[in-house]
Amino acid sequence: MESSGGRAEGSGRGPRVLVVGGGIAGLGAAQRLCRHPAFPQLRVLEATARAGGRIRSERGFGGVVELGAHWIHGPSQGNPVFQLAAKYQLLREKDLSEENQLTETGGHVGLPSVSYGSSGVSVSRELVVEMASLFYGLIDQTREFLHSADAPVPSVGEYLKKEIRQRAASWPEDEETRKLKLAVLNSFFNVECCVSGTHSMDLVALVPFGEYTVLPGLDCTFPGGYQGLTNHIMASLPEDVIVFNKPVKTVHWNGSFKEASSLGETFPVLVECEDGACFPAHHVIVTVPLGFLKEHLDTFFEPPLPTEKAEAIRKMGFGTNNKIFLEFEEPFWEPDCQYIQVVWEDTSPLEDVTSELRHVWFKKLIGFLVLPSFESVHVLCGFIAGLESEFMESLSDEDVLLSLTQVLRRVTGNAQLPAPRSVLRSRWHSAPYTRGSYSYVAVGSTGDDIDQLAQPLPTDGAEAQLQILFAGEATHRTFYSTTHGALLSGWREADRLIALRDPQAQLPGPWL
C-alpha cells in the first residue's frame, strides 16, 4: 500500500492526525486541534463532496431547506452549538433573548395548530390537548426508571402502552370517542418515533431513556441554514486540511507502518481509502455515523475491534427519520397555523399494523410543519420515521407526491385540493455514508454501550496510545442524536489528544 503526499507529509513536526468524517464532530475536533501548536499535521478525510454530514441545508423553494438537522435543541448557555451560532451571528435576535433561553419545554414537541382526522373532520382541540397531556405526562414518568433495577417492561413503548391500556379501560366516553382518543395517541407515538429516530418505541430501552438530557431554551432554527455553522467552522481551518471524496475503507491499527518520504519513522495506524490511497498516522479520530459503522463493522477496522466494542455497536440503536417538503401554489392552512397533525382514525398504539407497507406507509407521517413563507412560496414539511420512512425512500418523487396529495385531500375533506407544485425529501437510510438518521438507546443496551463506543483504542496502554479515538453524536451519553452532542464529542476527543501531547495544556472540559 502506497501512502499519499500532501500537507501532512514530513516528520519531526508533531504527531500526524487524521479525522475520518467532516460532519460537525469531525470539524469541531479539527478546529480545536488546528488551534494548538502541537498539531500542524492534520487532515480530515470526508467521503462525500461536502462538509456538514447530517447538517445539510439546500437552496429550495426560494429559500433554504434543511434536509438534516432542523433545530438547535435547547438553545441556551450550556449548548455549544447555540454559543457558536451566536458568535457567528447566525441566529435571529429573538432566539438570543434571555426569555427564549430560559424557556423550559421538557423536550416535547408543541401542540398541533389543527388536527385533521382521516374521515375528513377535524379532531376537537380539547380531545387533542387531553391526549397530549396524557402522552407527555407518561413520557415524563419514564424518568422514574433511570438506573432502576426493577423496570416493569423493557421498552418505552411497552410502558406507554401498558399505562394507556389501564387508563383507557376507565374512559367514560362512547366507543367512537375512545377509538378516536387512541388514534390521536397513535399520532403522538409517531412523533416520538421521529424524535427518537426509531421504527417503534418498543425498540427504545426504558431504563436509560431518562439519561438523554434536555437543555433549557425554546428550540430555534438558522434563518440562513444550519450549514452556515459548519461552513464557518470549515472556513476557520487551513485550506487544504479537508480532503473531499475520500471515503475511508479500512483503518489498520496496532501496526508499524512506514512511508518512503519519512525515513526511519513508523506509524501505528494506516488509513486505507476506497480509491487505494493510504495515509499513515499516529492518531485517527473516527466520526463516521453509527449506521455506517454497523454496516461495515467487519471490514472497517483491521485488526477487528475488541469484542466489547463491536458488541456495543451492534446493540446500540440507529434508525431513520426523514423529511418530505411539499410546495404549494396557495396555502390551504390558516395564516397562524404552525403544525398540522394527521390522525388516522383506524389506528391505535395498542394494535399492531399488519398491512403491507406500500398500502399504509403514509400513516406513519406525523403530519406537517408549516415553514415560514419565503417570498410567497408556501411549504409544508412532513416528518416520517421507521421502516415506513425507509420504504418511502424507495418510491419515486411522483409516487410520494401522489400519495400525499391523496392524504391531504382525504383529511381536509376537499377532493379538489390542488396538488403540491413540487416535492423534495431526504433519504438518510439510502445515504451510503450515513445509513439512517441518528442513534437511540435500544432495548438490550444502556448508556454504558455509548461510553464503550467512545473509548479510545488500544485500551491496555501497552502499545502506542490513542491510536483510534471515537467521536460523533452516537458517542455522547446524554446528548446523543443531536448536533451539540456531536460537537461536544469532537471537542472531547481533540482535548484527549491535546492532553496526551501537551500535558500542561489548560483544557476547558470535561465535555459531558
Ligand X SMILES: Cc1cc2nc3c(=O)[nH]c(=O)nc-3n(C[C@H](O)[C@H](O)[C@H](O)COP(=O)(O)OP(=O)(O)OC[C@H]3O[C@@H](n4cnc5c(N)ncnc54)[C@H](O)[C@@H]3O)c2cc1C
Residue numbers at the binding site for ligand X (CB under 6 A): 20-26, 45-48, 53-55, 68-71, 73, 247-248, 287-289, 292, 321, 323, 426, 428, 433-434, 437-438, 472-473, 481-483, 486
DSSP for 140-196, written as a single string? HHGGGGTT-S--SSSBHHHHHHHHHHHHHTT--S-HHHHHHHHHHHHHHHHHHHHHH
247 or 331: whose CB is closer to ligand X? 247
Q: What is the C-alpha separation between 475 and 479, in angstroms, rounded?
A: 9
288 or 379: whose CB is closer to ligand X? 288
Please state whether the peptide bond connecting residue 112 to the residue before it is cis, i.e. omega within 30 degrees of 0: no
Residue 84 makes CB contacts below 8 A (sequence gap 6+) with 229, 232, 233, 487
219 or 259: whose CB is closer to ligand X? 219
Residue 120 makes CB contacts below 8 A (sequence gap 6+) with 410, 411, 412, 413
349 or 447: whose CB is closer to ligand X? 447
CB of 471 to ligand X, least distance (A): 7
CB burial of residue 153 (10 Å; 0-12, 13-18, 19+): middle
Q: What is the C-alpha separation between 288 and 473, in angstroms, rounded?
A: 9
Residues 243-262: b if buried by 16+ CB within 10 A, e if exposed: beebbbbbbbbebebebeeb
CB of 23 to ligand X, least distance (A): 2
Is residue 314 left, alpha or beta, with left meaning phi > 0 and alpha meaning psi from -120 to 50?
A: alpha
159 or 479: whose CB is closer to ligand X? 479
Using alpha carbons only, give the angle 456, 460, 463 rounded to the nearest 5 degrees: 90
CB of 230 to ligand X, least distance (A): 8
> Residue 187 in contact with residue 345, Cβ under 8 Å?
no
E strands, 386-473, are: 422-425, 438-440, 468-470
CB of 249 to ligand X, least distance (A): 7
Altogether, the residues listed in the chain come to a count of 512
CB of 54 to ligand X, least distance (A): 3
232 or 258: whose CB is closer to ligand X? 232
CB of 244 to ligand X, least distance (A): 10
CB of 12 to ligand X, least distance (A): 28
362 or 433: whose CB is closer to ligand X? 433
Q: What DSSP state is assigned to residue 377?
A: B
134 or 215: whose CB is closer to ligand X? 215
71 or 333: whose CB is closer to ligand X? 71
CB of 22 to ligand X, least distance (A): 5
> Residue 131 in contact with residue 185, Cβ under 8 Å?
yes
Grid coordinates given for 503: 500535558
Number of other CB atoms surrounding residue 266 within 10 Å: 13
249 or 315: whose CB is closer to ligand X? 249
H/E stretch holding 402 = helix 397-412
139 or 195: whose CB is closer to ligand X? 195
> Residue 272 in contact with residue 278, Cβ under 8 Å?
yes
CB of 271 to ligand X, least distance (A): 9
CB of 444 to ligand X, least distance (A): 22
How many angstroms separate the most distant Cα atoms in the chain?
Answer: 83
CA 234, 240, 245, 246: dihedral to nearest 10 degrees? -110
Residues 158-195: b if buried by 16+ CB within 10 A, e if exposed: bbbbebbeeebeeeeeeeeeebbbbbbbbbbbbbbbbb
CB of 41 to ligand X, least distance (A): 18
Grid coordinates given for 192: 416520538
CB of 278 to ligand X, least distance (A): 13
47 or 277: whose CB is closer to ligand X? 47
CB of 196 to ligand X, least distance (A): 12
> Residue 113 in contact with residue 368, Cβ under 8 Å?
no
232 or 409: whose CB is closer to ligand X? 232
